[in-house]
Every structure is written in C-alpha cells, then in structure tokens.
C-alpha cells in the first residue's frame, strides 16, 4: 500500500550522517579567539544545524500524522500521508544520533576535558548510531534491517542509563565545574531518549503495514498506525519542550567559565 521513496533521500541523509567527519577535517584551522572560520565555530554551526533538523522536522511529522487522521481520507491517501511522516521522521532521528558526538566535542571548548579513549568513543558514537538508523530505515522487514533496529533500540536504552550515571560521576568529581549547565543538557537528552522509545514503538505499526501491503486488512493496519501515532503526540510535544530547554541552556550557559582554548589536543592540534 505504501511505497518507499528512498532514492531522493539517500544523498542528503548520508551527508547529514557524515557531518562530524566533515567537521573533523576542518579542525586544523584557527583558535577560538581568531577571526574567520575556526574549528569551534564549525562545530557550533553543526550543533545548530542538528537542532534545526531535530526540532523543525518533528513539527512536520506531527502535522503529517494529524493530517493522516482526517476522516475524509481514503485508506490509500492515509497510507501515503503516513509514509510522508515516516520519511520526514528520519531527519530528527539522524540529528539526535549525532548530537552527543557534536555536543561532547563542544564541551572541550568550555573546559570539560576527556581522556583519549573517551573522546574516541564520543567521536565514534554518532556515525555508528546514524548508520544503524539508516540501515533500519532503508531495509525494513529484512533480517539486516531488523537487527539494526534492535541494536539502535538497545543503544537508546543504554544511553538512558549511562548518561545520567556519567552526569552523576562527573558532577561529584567536579569535572562539570567549568560548565555546570552541561549536566542539565545531558539529563534532558536522556529524557528525550526515554520518550523516543515509546514513540518508536508506535512507528513499528507503520513498518508492519509495509510488510502487510498485499493483505486484505492493510487498510485496518494503517488506521491502527494512525491511532497509535496520535496517542504519542503528547510525548512528541514533551520532547519539544525538553529540546527547547536544552537549546536555551546552550545559549545562556549559566555558570560557565570559558577557557582560552580546548583542553584536549585531540580536539584541536596545536
């Protein structure tokens, strides 16, 4: 009933997934205080772009889901509208997957240092996570796609536990003293991951409908998908509030004491 239109999305989505790699290639330019293009400004720009994709595209998802619930739509029209929502939903998912990597690197510029192994894990997390999302989205229903989706869900659950534990350890060891607002941003990210698990469960109904395209009850499956997605719209709205709060903290930066340069040579070679 719903056809996947993947070709037009592939190149821009891969470009989005490779944003951290592109930024790493520019890290040899200038210190933070220098004029022009610097590594810090490129990472900040990437961070803002990810925020725009996350929050802005989520609005498109909500509008499409609401439109799919219109009573005057036929089953085919409803299915196509939901497919549009599913396509748009890929953008905020990719943006969320890269946010910890970009944010972790930016914390270097506010005086929160990382040992090399931790920085390597931070730099690897985003591209690997984005890769799992792309595989699951491009190959729904296949064994590879199902395995990628399961691994991504497991990663989200791991982060829901690991991020607050990391914040607690960093807080009590004063690692976050140069920028205490980072603790709140990380906790908000963990909350967003918890909300996303429930939202992802609702989207699985839509994925199941892809596999039931030729069944006689496919129209009923689409109606079930619409109902479940409408049920989680309040969670999407709660996510917007949390994401907006995190953005406000990133702008106001309460309690921050800026260093002259990044604290790890891995981030900005000298």
- Residues 53-111 pLDDT 10s: 998 888 888 888 878 777 777 778 877 888 888 888 899 999 999 999 999 999 988 88
Average pLDDT over residues 127-142: 90
Distance CA 58, CA 53 (A): 8
pTM here?
A: 0.78
pLDDT for 8 equals: 46
pLDDT for 214 equals: 47
pLDDT for 160 equals: 96
Do the Cβ atoms of 68 and 226 come closer than 8 Å? yes
Helix, strand, coil % in the chain, rounded to nearest 5? 75, 0, 25
Stated as kind and residue range, the H or E segment containing 163 is helix 143-172
pLDDT for 259 equals: 54
pLDDT for 2 equals: 43
Give the length of the chain.
270
Do the Cβ atoms of 202 and 62 come closer than 8 Å? no
pLDDT for 65 equals: 80
Distance CA 139, CA 146 (A): 8
Whether the CA torsion 148, 153, 158, 160 is positive or negative: it is: positive
Do the Cβ atoms of 225 and 64 come closer than 8 Å? no
Q: Is pLDDT larger for residue 156 or for residue 256? A: 156
Q: Is pLDDT larger for residue 1 or for residue 53? A: 53
Distance CA 235, CA 196 (A): 8
User: Of the candidates 1, 50, 9, which has an alpha carbon nearest to the alpha carbon of residue 138?
Assistant: 9
Whether the CA torsion 210, 211, 214, 216 is positive or negative: it is: negative
Q: What is the mean pLDDT of the chain?
A: 79
DSSP category for residue 73: -
Do the Cβ atoms of 178 and 257 come closer than 8 Å? yes
Residue 105 CA: distances (Å) to CA of 20, 115, 125: 10, 12, 12
Do the Cβ atoms of 200 and 132 come closer than 8 Å? no
What's CA 115's distance to the chain center, in Å? 25
């Amino acid at each position: 009933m719903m056809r996947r239109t993947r070709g037009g999305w592939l190149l821009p989505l891969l470009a989005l997934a490779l944003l951290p790699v592109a930024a790493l290639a520019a890290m040899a330019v200038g210190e933070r205080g220098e004029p022009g293009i610097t590594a810090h400004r490129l990472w900040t720009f990437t961070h803002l772009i990810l925020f725009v994709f996350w929050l802005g595209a989520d609005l498109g998802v909500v509008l499409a889901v609401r439109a799919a619930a219109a009573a005057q739509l036929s089953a085919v029209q409803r299915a196509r509208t939901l497919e549009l929502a599913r396509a748009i939903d890929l953008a905020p998912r990719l943006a969320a997957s890269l946010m910890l990597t970009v944010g972790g690197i930016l914390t270097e510029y506010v005086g929160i240092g990382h040992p090399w192994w931790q920085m390597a894990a931070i730099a690897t997390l985003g591209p690997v996570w984005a890769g799992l999302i792309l595989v699951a989205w491009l190959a729904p229903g296949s064994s590879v796609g199902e395995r990628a989706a399961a691994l991504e869900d497991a990663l989200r659950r791991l982060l829901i536990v690991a991020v607050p534990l990391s914040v607690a350890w960093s807080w009590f060891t004063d690692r976050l003293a140069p920028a205490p607002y980072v603790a709140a941003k990380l906790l908000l990210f963990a909350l967003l991951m918890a909300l996303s698990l429930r939202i992802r469960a609702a989207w699985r109904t839509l994925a199941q409908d892809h596999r039931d395209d030729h069944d006689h009850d496919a129209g009923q499956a689409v109606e079930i998908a619409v109902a479940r997605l409408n049920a989680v719209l309040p969670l999407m709205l709660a996510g917007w509030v949390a994401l907006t709060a995190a953005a406000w903290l990133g702008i106001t930066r309460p309690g921050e004491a800026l260093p002259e340069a990044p604290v790890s040579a891995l981030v900005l070679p000298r």
